[in-house]
Amino acid sequence: MSRMGVTGLGFGRYFTRHMALARWTHGSGWSGVELTGHGPLALSPAAMALHYGQAIFEGLKAYPQQDGSLALFRPGVNAERLNRSAVRLAMPELPEELFVEACSAVVRADADEVPRGPGQSLYLRPFMIAVEPSLGVRPALEYLFAVIASPVDHFFADGYQAIDVWCASDQIRAARGGTGAAKCAGNYAGSLAAKAEAVAQGCHEVLWLDAQERRWVEELGAMNFFCVTQDDGAPLLVTPRLSGTILAGNTRDSLLRIAPDLGVRVAERPVALDELTDPRGRVTEAFACGTAASVVPIGAVTTAHGRVRIGDGRPGKITTMLRDELAAVQYGTQPDSYGWMHPV
């Protein structure tokens, strides 16, 4: 059934009719992409992903364009990141063409299920899991790659509003040499207890600090972090550099490229929690960003020492300008001068 124009979709609650599958076996490599009905997978209870966590995923969206067509946003970036995750988890890499073909096939098959209201899109979830039945602790010899799709609204039910974040001090997301830069299932499982604590503290998300000094801001549970500081009287957009413990976000990279074109200088450098929470400091705006939620203003940071408002606590001017510009590229309301949109 078509859900065009329907609101209240939420995020990841509904799925379209089709999914794409490909299989890898040691010795034979990847099969071709098969388009099939979205439904349960037959999996051995000994499938290695279930025991030792060889499970990686991606997230990207197909956006309705002005002429009614659909386009993926920078799918090649997700294909490359999936392969970096695969290498880190000793899983097989996937040819980029196969990744893009599988995503495109699902979008084409389910085009009538893509919601077309403001802020709506089709969220694609490509993933790869180890399916070989074995309890040996070693890389599996059989894998499944799949793409499923979910018609989505804006990620946060409240829409575009500033969120409160909670700074985890007793738990960490990733340490140097670990899997922080990989998009693997275990990273998310490991963040859920802290997320529950954040919610208990009246916050929406966790703001993770570095594992070593517990001093430097890294990212959120499923989004990268940015702030705007006043530097010689002019705004400077700052984000922590990719140190190996942070996920290299597609949205992060895109904003770093868009901002200078809007006259905003950018810097990738460490951001201390103290810098962010200094009430007399230079930080005037902060936001999180990712595919699912786009750009999300951060209104306040709660730490063990209390709650500190960022700026006036409302979505900042530069935050909103970047969000609007990104949306204009993604929904094709302005020319794709970056060549980022991939028609399906």
Chain residues in the site for ligand PLP (CB under 6 A) = 59, 219, 222-224, 247, 249-252, 290-291
The item of ligand COI, ligand PLP, none sharing an interface with residue 129, based on CB under 5 to 8 Å by kind, is none
Q: Is 180 in the site for ligand COI (CB under 6 A)?
A: no
Minimum distance from CB of 233 to ligand COI (Å)?
A: 34
Minimum distance from CB of 27 to ligand PLP (Å)?
A: 33
Q: Is 292 in the site for ligand COI (CB under 6 A)?
A: yes
In this structure, what token pair is assigned to residue 198?
């954040």
Q: Measured between alpha carbons, how far is residue 104 from residues 168, 182, 229 in Å?
A: 38, 24, 40
Q: Is 330 in the site for ligand COI (CB under 6 A)?
A: no
The item of ligand PLP, ligand COI, none sharing an interface with residue 250, based on CB under 5 to 8 Å by kind, is ligand PLP
Q: Cα dihedral sign for 272, 257, 180, 147?
A: positive
Contact 216, 206 (CB under 8 A): no
The item of ligand COI, ligand PLP, none sharing an interface with residue 194, based on CB under 5 to 8 Å by kind, is none
Host H or E run for residue 196 = helix 192-200
Stretch that binds ligand COI, among 105-113, 163-171, 288-296, 317-325 (CB under 6 A): 288-296
The pair phi, psi for residue 120, each rounded to 5°, is -95, 160
Contact 290, 253 (CB under 8 A): no
In terms of phi and psi (left: phi > 0; alpha: psi -120 to 50; beta: otherwise), the region of 144 is beta
- C-beta of 181 vs 292, nearer to ligand COI: 292
Minimum distance from CB of 292 to ligand COI (Å)?
A: 3
Q: Is 144 in the site for ligand COI (CB under 6 A)?
A: no
The DSSP-derived string for 294-344 is: EEEEEEEEEETTEEEE-TTSS--HHHHHHHHHHHHHHTTSS--TT--EEE-
Interaction site with ligand COI (CB under 6 A): 59, 222, 290-292
